Chains A and B, each alone.
Chain A
Amino acid sequence: MRTKGSLKVLRFLGCLIVTVSLMFIGSPGQTADKITPKTPAKPALTNAPQPQYGGVLKIIEAAGPKTPFGWPAETVGESVVASTPAIETLVRQYYDGRIEPLLATAWKIAPDKSSITFTLRKGVKFHDGTDFDGEAVKFNLEATKAAKLPGTDAWASIEVIDNYTVKVNLTEYQNTVLSRFASVITSGMVSPTAYKTKGLEGIRWAPIGTGPFEFVSFERDVRAVFKKFPGYWQKGKPYLDGVEYVYIKDPMTEANAMLTKEAHILNAESGKMVADLRDAGLNVFTNPAGVVCLIPDSANADSPLADKRVREAVEYAIDKEAIAKAKSYGFWTAAYQLPPIGTLAYDRNFQDRKYNVQKAKQLLTQAGYAKGMKIKILPQPWAVDPDVALGIQGYLAKVGITADVEVLDQGKFTDYRRKGWKNGFLLMAIGYRPNFLQFITEYLGPTSADFPSLKKPAGEAALLKEGLSTTNPEFPKIQKVLKLIQADTTLIPVHVTVRACVYQKNVHDTNHLKLATWPFWTPETAWLSK
C-alpha cells in the first residue's frame, strides 16, 4: 500500500513538473516594455479642447510589417506605418497636395530647374543622440537612390553645401519630384552613425530616426511599441507617452477590440465592419483611397479590347452605381473618371459613360461583336472585392459578353501585371496621388514597368512631359492628359475605394488620413483626453 501511495505522489509530481515546464516554454523570448501613462501636466479647463499629456495610443493595423521597417531603402507598405512614430522626412505632403516643411525648413528650385536646395532644420537629434545634418541627408538619400526606389532615378547627385544645406541635382525636373521627399520610402531619415556602428542587421527591425517616439520593441504579428522621445525637436511635443501598434488580422477581432476599448484607433478598408462600428457610436473618418479600374489588353492586336468601341461598350454595360451601392455600405461611389470627386484633377465637365445597355449593344454591333465574345477578368487579390468582379461579369453577360473570372493569388496577379495578359481585363485598385501626373507617370507613363498589354493613347507621352515640366502642377495641363485618357477609354474606372479610420471619442488631432502618403497621420500632434 505504501508503495502504491508513493507511486501516486510521484505521478502527481510528474504531472505538476510537466505542466509547469509547458507553462515555462509557453513564455515568449521577449516581451514589450510597459509604458505607464502619466497624469496630465495641464488638464484642459477651457471649453476649447486643449491638448493633454500622457497615455499610450493603441492603433490596430490588420497587417504588421512584412519587410524591415528600420531602413527606408527596404521599407514599404505596412512597414512604413510601423516606422512612422520614429522616422521623419524632409517635407510633409497633405491629401490636397499641399507640401509643408518638416526636417527641411525651406527649399528652393533652381531657375533652370536643374536642382532643389533644401535648408535643414537646426537642433534636430536622432534617437541615438547624434545630430541631424547635411551629411545625414546625403547618406540617406544616396542609400535610397542606390536601392533604385521609385522616383530616385531623377536625382543625379546629392551635394552637401554646408552643415544645414543640401542640394539635390536632378537629371530632369518633374513637378512630382518634391513629393518624393515627403515619402518615408524615398526620404526617411535614419541615423548614419547607428547604421555604421550597429550595421544593417542592427537597425533594419529597430528604427533610429528623429521622430517624436523612440522604438522600444517589435513582436511579429503581435505589436510594435514606441515611447516618447524626450529630445524631440518640436518643443512641448509629443503629447502622448507612447504609441503601440497592435496587429490583428481577423476583422471581427479588430471590431471587438474597438468595442471593448482595448484600442483607440482602427485603420481599415471601408465595409460592413466600419459601418457597424459607426452605428455603434464610434467616430469614423474616410477618404478616397483610389479607383478600382478595368485595365484592358488593348496592346494585343488580336484582342477584342484593342477596339475602342468595345471598351466603351463595356463601360456602358456596367451599372457602377448599383455595384457601389450593393457592396460598400455607403462608402464607395461609382467612378467615371480616374481622379476621385473633389480632388484637384477631377473634371466636372466630363460626359460620364453612364449605364446604358442599348448603347453598349449598339457599339458592340458596330465593332462586329453583335453575337458576343468571350473575355477574362483577372481581379487583384486582397485589394479588390471579388464580388465586384462577379457583378461586372453579370452585367457583361446582359450584352452578350461572356467573362470568366479567374481567381488569382498575389504572385500570379503580379505576373500578369508585369509580364502581360491576354484577351481580358485586369481588375485592379489604383492608388490616389495628390498630383495626378504622378499617378499617370507611375502606371501609364512611358517608363512605367506596369501593364505591358495595355496600349497607351497616342500623344500621351508628350502631354505628360509638358504637364510635368512646370514648376508646380497646373490644372489645364493635367486636364489635357486626363481628357486624352478618358476619350480613349484607356482604362475603365469602376468605383472609388475608401480608406477608413475608426477612432474612440477621446482621441484627438491625429490627422489620420489627412496626409497624402503612408502613414497618413502625424504622431506628434496626437493626444488623448482623459
Chain B
Amino acid sequence: MVLLLVSLMVFLTMRLLPGDPILMYMTMRDVEGSSQEQIDNIRKEFGLDKPVMVQYLRWVSGAVRGDLGTSILNRSSVSAELKRRVPITFYLTFLSLLLSVVVSIPLGVISAMRRGSWLDTLVTTVANMGVTVPVFWLGILLVYVFGLILKWLPVFGYTSPFTNFWVSLKQVVMPVFCLAVFSIASSMRQTRSSMLEVIRQDYIRTARAKGLKERVIVMRHALKNAMIPVVTLTGMTVRYLFGGAVLVETVFNIPGMGRMTVDGILAQDYPVVQGAVLVIAVTILLSNLIVDLSYGWLDPRIRYD
C-alpha cells in the first residue's frame, strides 16, 4: 500500500513539473527541422499521449513484472540501468552504515562510562561537529587534503572490489567516510545518552552490588537495553544515507543510483525517476522492517501479536 502511494505521488509530481520531457529529448536530439508530427510520434512511442491514469496503470503493471520502462532520453531499459547502479549505491551505503556502527557505539559507550573526562569532552565535541558538517564541504576538504596535497587517495572514480580490491578500497575511503560522518556522530550521541540513562537504573546498581565486573555489566546488561533508540536512529539513517549518496556520488564521480536520479529529474525522464524512487522506497521499507524486528531481539518484553 505504501509503495503504491509512493509510486502514485512520484508519478503525479513529475507530471506537475513545468516543461515537457519530449521537448527535452528533442533538444538533446537537436530540434532543428523536427516537425510536430515527429514530436507527436515520439510522444506516442512512450505512451505519453494517453491519459495520466492509463499511463500510471501501464507503468505499475510493468513494474510488477520487473519492467520499469525505457528511459526517454537515452532509450535504454531503466531496470537494466538500475541493476548496474543500485549495487554501487548499496555497497557505499552498507560500508557507511558498517563504519558508523563500528565506530559510534564503542565511542558512545566509552564516552558515557567516562562522563566528564577529557575523553568524553573530546568525543562529544567531535560528535557535535560531525552532526553539523555539510557532506559536500567535507568531501571537498578531504579531496583537497588527501587527494591534492598528500596524494594518498584518488580524487574520483569507482572500481568494483572484485576488479581491483586495493584500487576500489582507496576509491571508497573518502566517499564512505563522508557518507558515514553524520550517522557516526548522531549514533555516538544517542549511544552516550542512552547508556547514561541505563547505567543509572536499579538493575545496574544491583549488578554492581553483586560484584560483577564492569565489562560484564556494560556489555551484557547495559548496552543491549541502551541499543533500542540507537537501532531506531540507525534505521532512520538509511534514508539519510540515500540522500547523501546523491551528493557524494556527484563529488566523487561515482556512477550510482543517486546521480542517475538527479539527472533523471533534471531531464524530466519520468521512467528513470519513477524506477529509482521505487527502489529507494522498497529499501527504506525493508530497513524499517528490520529495525522493528530487532526490537524483539533486543528487549524480549517487546512482542508483536
Contact = CB atoms under 8 A, between A and B. Distances in A.
A480 interface: no
Q: Top 10 nearest A-B pairs by Cβ distance?
A: A411-B19, A26-B91, A27-B160, A25-B87, A256-B155, A411-B24, A27-B162, A150-B32, A76-B30, A414-B23
A250 B263 CA distance: 12
B268 interface: yes
Interface string B1-45: 000000000000000011111011011111111100010000000
Contact of B90 (A25, A66, A250, A409): A25
A29 interface: yes
Interface stretch (B111-119, B140-148, B188-196, B231-239): B140-148
A67 B155 contact: no
A449 interface: yes
Interface residues of A, number: 50
Given A28-B160, A221-B260, A449-B33, A77 B147 contact: no
Contact of A409 (B18, B143, B161): B18
Contact of A31 (B17, B163, B253): B163
Given A22-B90, A148-B33, A257-B156, A29 B83 contact: yes
Contacts of B90: 22, 25-26
A292 interface: no
A222 interface: yes
B34 to A, nearest CB: 7
Given A76-B28, A410-B24, A262 B33 contact: no
B28 A262 contact: no
In the complex, which range does the number of interface residues on chain B fall in?
35 or more
B23 A418 contact: yes
Interface in A387-441: 408-412, 414-415, 417-418
A142 interface: no
Tell me what chain A mostly uses at the interface: helix, strand, loop, or mixed.
loop
A488 interface: no
Interface string B81-124: 10110011011001000100000000000000000000000000
Contact of A26 (B17, B34, B81, B161): B161
B251 interface: yes
B283 interface: no
A185 B76 CA distance: 21
Interface of A: 19, 22-29, 31, 65-68, 74, 76-77, 148-150, 153, 185, 219-222, 247-250, 252-253, 256-257, 259-260, 262, 408-412, 414-415, 417-418, 442, 448-450
A233 B218 CA distance: 76
B229 interface: no
Contacts of A257: 155-156
Nearest to B259: A221
B162 A24 contact: yes
Nearest to B98: A19
A411 B28 CA distance: 10
A148 B33 CA distance: 7
